Amino acid sequence: MAQAKYILALDQGTTSSRALLVDTEGKICSVAQKEFGQIFPRSGWVEHDPNEIWSSQASVAAEAMARLNLDGGQIAAVGITNQRETAIVWDRKTGEPIHNAIVWQDRRTSAFCDELRAAGHAEMIQQKTGLVIDAYFSATKVRWILDNVPGARQRAQAGELAFGTVDSWLIWKLTNGRVHATDISNASRTLLFNIHDQKWDDELCKLFDVPRSMLPEVKSCSEVIGATATTFPAANVPIAGIAGDQQAAMFGQMCTEEGMIKNTYGTGCFIVMNTGEKAKRSKNNLLTTVAWKLDGKVTYALEGSIFIAGAVVQWLRDGLGCITRSEQVEALANSVEDNGGVYMVPAFAGLGAPYWDQYARGAIFGITRGTTDAHIARACLESIAFQTKDVLDAMADDAGIPIAELRVDGGASVNDRLMEFQAGLTGVKVVRPQTLETTAMGAAFFAGLAVGYWKDLAEIRKIWKKGAEFESHMAPQTRAELLKNWHKAVDRVRDWDK
C-alpha cells in the first residue's frame, strides 16, 4: 500500500469517457477525456457501440497514467462511475455485444411502456422499484434486444448471454470476463430490482421477460469486487468502487446527511436528495432510488431526472450552428438583457420529472422579428434552470421540508450567469464546490474507502471545499411572470408526438 499513490477514477459518460487520478488530498493530478460516437438509427433512438465505450475508456485511463509515468503498482484501486440505464447485452463466451448499447435517452420502447400502464402494472412496479414506467430505464431495452436480435432470446434462456449497465460492461472487460457484477445504485435503475428487499425480483423479471441468468451479481458501492486482468492498468489492481453517475456525484458532493441535495448539470440534469435510511415514496412523479450502500447500510434518495440540460448547448452548437464551441454560449446569452419573451422547452427526448411525458417534443415559443440567436441562446440556458425549479418544488413537497441549499456541479455549473438565474428563480442558495469533478470524485471516494486509502467519511469531508455561492436577487413578481410563461410553454409541448 505504501507505493499506491493514487485512485484511478473511470467516469464513463453519455458522450465521453474520462479518467482521473486522485491523490489522498483529493487533488486531481491527471485527467484525460475522449468523446465517442452517438448513433441515431431512427428518430428517438439513441445507441452507442459498446466496444467503442470500452476502447475510449481504456485509452483515457492509459493516457492519464502515462502523463504521470505511472504503472499499476502506484494505483491503490479503481473506482467506476457511469451513465445509468444504458443497456448492453453480450455473449458470455466471446465477450462480444450482440447489439449496440441502447442508451438511457432512447425512446423506442415507449409503446410497450404504454401497454404496461394500460395493463395496470404501474403501482406494483413503483412499489417495488421506486420508479415509474418509462422507456428511460433498462428493462424494456433488454427485452427489445432479446426480441429483435435473431436467436437472442433462445441464447439468453440457455444462459449464453449477459446483461449489464455500463459499469458491468467495464468490469467484465477489466477483469477479462471473470466478474459479472454491478452495484446496488445501478441495479436500482433497471426496473428489475426490488429496492426494499435489495435483490433482483422474480415477478419483475417475468413481466419484462428477462431471464435471471442474464443478470449481474449486485454489490455495495464500496467493496473490492475483483481485480484488473488487463494490460491497463497492470494486472491485480483492485476494482473497489462502483456507483451510477448521479449517486457518485451526490457522494462526491458529500451530501451524506438526510435533506442534503445536489444538481448535476450534465447532458441531462439530475437532482438528488438524500432521504436517509428510509425509501420515501413520491407523490409528485419523482423517483425513489438507492443512493448507495456503504458499510452494510443502504441510503435512499429522491431523484428528479431532466433529460436535456447541457445537451441543449450542444444542439445550439451542432444543430443550429449559433456557436462553434460550447463555452461561447455564456457570452452570446449575456449579449442581451433578457430572453426577449422567448422560451425554449428542450423536450428532445420527452420530458422527465415531474412530467414524465415521453411524447413531448422540443419547441421554441415567443419568437418575433426582433428575436436573435442571442435570445434563443439565453432561452436555452434558462430552460435548464426552469426545469430544475420544477423538480425542486416537487422534491420539497415530497420531503416535507423547504430546501435551503443546492449544491451544484457538472459542465454547465461553471456558467455564473446560469447559476445566478438558478438562485433567483428558486430562491435557494446555490453552492458550487472548488472541485467540479464530483462524479469522478464520488467513484474515487467509494474505491478509496474500500481499500483504506481514506480511513473514513470524516477524512473525506475535509476534502470537499466551497468554491462559489450564489444568492437570490430576483424580484418575486419577475419570478412569477417567468414561471407563468414557462409553464404555458410546457403545456403546449405535452403529448406532441402521440
What residues form the annotated binding site for ATP?
Answer: 14-16, 267, 310, 314, 411
With contact defined as beta carbons under 8 Å apart, do 173 and 231 qualify?
no
- How far apart CA 224 and CA 428 sit, in angstroms, is 39
Q: C-alpha dihedral over 351, 414, 313, 355, to 10 degrees?
A: 10
Phi, psi of 21 (to 5 degrees): -110, 125
As annotated, the binding site for sn-glycerol 3-phosphate includes 14, 84-85, 136, 245
Q: Which helix (H) or strand (E) holds 478?
A: helix 476-493
Give CA–CA dist 171/225, Å, rounded: 9
Could you tell me which residues are annotated as the binding site for glycerol? Answer: 84-85, 136, 245-246
Grid coordinates given for 6: 493514487
- Residues belonging to the binding site are 14-16, 18, 84-85, 136, 245-246, 267, 310, 314, 411, 415
**Which residue ranges make up the annotated binding site for ADP?**
14, 18, 267, 310, 411, 415
Distance CA 427, CA 273 (A): 17
Q: How, if at all, do strands 261-265 and 269-276 pair?
A: antiparallel
Who's near 318: CB < 8 A, 6+ residues apart?
A: none
What's the grid cell of residue 195? 429496492
The residues that bridge with 200 in the sheet, in sequence order, are 193
Q: 219-235 in b/e burial notation, b at 16+ Cβ within 10 A?
A: bbbbbebbbbeeebbee
143: cell is 427485452
Count of C-beta atoms within a 10 Å radius of residue 441: 32
Q: Determine the Cα–Cα distance for residues 154 and 145; give it in Å rounded to an integer.
A: 12
**Cβ atoms 64, 232 nearer than 8 A:** no
Rounded to 5 degrees, φ, ψ at 181 are -145, 160
- The whole-angstrom separation of Cα 237 and Cα 228 is 5
Specify whether the CB–CB gap between 165 and 230 falls below 8 A: no
My answer on whether omega of the bond before 354 falls inside 30° of 0, hence cis, is yes
Residue 129 CA neighbour count, 13 Å, CB half: 27
The residues, any chain, with a CB within 8 Å of residue 445's CB and separated by 6 or more, are 79, 241, 251, 252, 454, 460
With contact defined as beta carbons under 8 Å apart, do 188 and 222 qualify? Answer: no
Q: What is the DSSP letter of 179?
A: -
